[in-house]
Amino acid sequence: MKDPHQYKVYAIRYGHFERRSPENFLGGDTHDVPMPLDYFVWAIVGQERTFIVDTGFDKPTGDRRGRSVVRPVDEGLAMLGIDHATVSDVIISHMHYDHCGNHHLFPNATFHLQDAEMEFATGRCMCHHAMRHPFEAEDVTKMVRRVFDGKVCFHDPESEVAPGITLHKVGGHSRGLQVVRVETENGALVLASDAAHFYANMEKEKPFPVFDRLSDVIMGVERMRRLASAPRLIVPGHDPLILQRFAGDKERPGIVDLTRPL
């Protein structure tokens, strides 16, 4: 990796949830087979700066929601030589509990967030349980405190956060969901987060059944296909197949290098 505007990108698995396939597709799935969710945070590592994408949930939150923490986020980052306390930039794809917790791990970071997501998470839609259920009030409150501390950088709808890294609002799953486009030695890679939970959501054109606006979910997949250099470089947010499609090593189980497809 000689180009200073190209990056290594890592998927770090931190959580797991058993689930069946009908729960993962709008309209269900006639096969009804096991199709669990894995939970990831992402590290974008350059020659000069490291960016973390999403911050996961902690064990108490996972316990309340019936999700397992398989490795705390800080331990996963440490396995890549990343000291969470010194991270200067965190990109939040959206503010659902599994993407926006663990604020205490990043005391020195500026969080990068879409205007629309903060408006959504603090506005009238949160008066309704069905809309607020994926959010944790404490996470939202901490983000508001970061705003008052001058530690949130807002974006709308597209921004370059560093040469080779751009943010793109797609919405759909959450009002201000953003995907991250990263230049790598293999071309432009897109971290989809929950714009697609699984490869199959994109390949079968059957969205995950949790969304704010269905048309934005569908258009978001089309947008990612234009942003990525190749379909294989669109990385979904929760698919265990990520660990099979990219290279890892035995010393760091649950961590793969997204610039080394198998």
User: Per-domain residue ranges for the chain?
Assistant: 8-261
CA distance 93 to 178: 5
CA distance 191 to 178: 9
pLDDT band at 162 (very low <50, low <70, confident <90, very high): very high
| Helix, coil or strand: residue 22 | helix
pLDDT band at 110 (very low <50, low <70, confident <90, very high): very high
Half-sphere exposure of residue 84: CA atoms within 13 angstroms, side-chain side? 20
Percent of the chain with pLDDT over 70: 99
Nearest to 56 by CA among 25, 24, 84: 84
pLDDT score recorded for residue 139: 98
Q: What's the mean pLDDT in 189-200?
A: 98
pLDDT score recorded for residue 4: 81
Interacting residues of 100 by C-beta distance below 8 A, sequence separation 6+:
54, 55, 92, 94, 136, 139, 140, 143
The answer to whether the predicted template modeling score (pTM) of the entire model surpasses 0.95 is yes
Question: Is residue 71 exposed (0-12), middle (13-18) or buried (19+ Cβ within 10 Å)?
Answer: middle
CATH-assigned architecture of domain 8-261: 4-Layer Sandwich (3.60)
pLDDT score recorded for residue 79: 98
Judge whether residue 1 has pLDDT over 70. no
Judge whether residue 25 has pLDDT over 90. yes
Judge whether residue 2 has pLDDT over 80. no
